[in-house]
Amino acid sequence: MAGRILVDNIGVRNNPARFQDNLEFEITFTAVEPVPWPLEWRIIYVGSAKDEEKDQLLEEFEIGPIAEASTMKFSVECSPPDYRLIPADELICTSPLMKVSLLS
């Protein structure tokens, strides 16, 4: 029997934050039925809308197995993406200080 998972909410705990700060998320999900194997989670930063190879894996971990249907919540903290791997024409800079530091 396959387990079914519903992601109920993903919240950013440190919003707003500087681009160089660690990312902090709070994730709530529901296991509709028992899951007899570990659930694999990945935090991926999409570095380019045009090129999937620019995606950056920020964190990878497992939770479970889950013995019974239930709702669970957990927090995860990961390093920020490496801005040097993001194509320059896709960087969004809103502060003059950030523009100088990113382009120099």
Strand-pair partners of 84: none
pLDDT in tens, 49-93: 899 999 999 999 999 999 999 999 999 999 999 989 988 888 776
Q: pTM, whole model, 2 decimals?
A: 0.78
How many domains does one find in the chain?
1
Answer whether 27's CB lies under 8 Å from 76's CB: yes
In the DSSP assignment, the letter for residue 2 is: -
- Which of residues 94 and 31 earns the better pLDDT score? 31
Strand-pair partners of 30: 6, 71
How many distinct helices (H) and strands (E) make up the chain?
A: 1, 5
Q: Which domain range does residue 17 map to? A: 5-103
What CATH number is attached to the domain comprising 71? 2.60.40.1490
Which structure tokens are listed for 71?
């709702």
